[in-house]
């Protein structure tokens, strides 16, 4: 597939199409384009917030945060939820491709509403992707993503308290 095809598959994944999730999860070539989609999302967020330095930092932040989020979900799914099959890259690639929805961050001002909504929608996409990739029932997939969300929330609270 070409890069544009991965963007199309990312949109399909964001529409919760399980066949697109399975296709990208099993595609050994998807990892690179998935990283590209994440990096473009970071650039879009930087442009939308008029941050010159962010054009360098935001793509890195998007990629690193996705790696950490997927690592947590992979660990929870395989260690505690009895996941069958599924590999880190099989979870990472579809979720990173679905992050095409974060490209709305390029729109100044509107990004303040659309980017948080896109991020929340990615939690729903994560549930369906975890369910599909790891062959888990919906409840276990929700718990897996909820644990990630809980960790992120706790870290935001700690950061908020530290910054004051």
**pLDDT tens readout for residues 26-54:** 999 999 999 999 999 999 999 999 999 99
Angle between helices 111-134 and 138-163 in degrees, nearest 10: 140
φ and ψ of 161, to 5 deg? -70, -35
- Per-residue pLDDT, 137: 96
Residue 57 near residue 41, CB atoms below 8 Å: no
Q: Which residues contact 114 (CB under 8 A, 6 or more apart)?
A: 104, 105, 107
Q: What is the mean pLDDT of the chain?
A: 96
- Average pLDDT on 134-153 reads 97
| pLDDT given for residue 41 in this prediction | 96
CA–CA distance, 94 with 117 (Å, rounded to integer)? 19
Rounded-to-integer distance, Cα 6 and Cα 146, Å: 27
Alpha-carbon distance 111 to 101, whole Å?
A: 12
With residue 61 as reference, give the H or E element that holds it.
Answer: helix 54-79
pLDDT band at 109 (very low <50, low <70, confident <90, very high): confident
At 151 the pLDDT is 97
Share in percent of the chain as helix, strand, coil (round to 5): 80, 0, 20
On whether the CB atoms of residues 24 and 9 are closer than 8 A, the answer is yes
- What pLDDT is attached to residue 111? 87
pLDDT exceeds 90 at position 17: yes
What pLDDT does residue 20 have? 98
């Amino acid at each position: 597939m070409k890069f544009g095809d991965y963007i199309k598959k990312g949109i399909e994944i964001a529409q919760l199409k399980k066949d697109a999730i399975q296709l990208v999860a099993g595609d050994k070539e998807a990892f690179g384009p998935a990283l590209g989609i994440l990096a473009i999302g970071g650039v879009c967020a930087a442009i939308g917030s008029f941050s010159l330095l962010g054009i360098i930092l935001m793509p890195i932040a998007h990629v690193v945060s996705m790696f950490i989020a997927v690592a947590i979900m992979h660990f929870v799914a395989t260690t505690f939820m009895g996941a069958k099959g599924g590999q880190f890259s099989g979870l990472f690639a579809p979720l990173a491709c679905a992050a095409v929805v974060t490209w709305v961050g390029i729109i100044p001002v509107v990004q303040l509403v659309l980017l948080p909504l896109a991020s929340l929608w990615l939690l729903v996409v994560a549930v369906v992707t975890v369910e599909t990739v790891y062959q888990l029932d919906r409840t276990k997939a929700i718990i897996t993503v909820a644990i990630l969300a809980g960790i992120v929330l706790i870290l935001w609270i700690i950061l908020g308290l530290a910054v004051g």
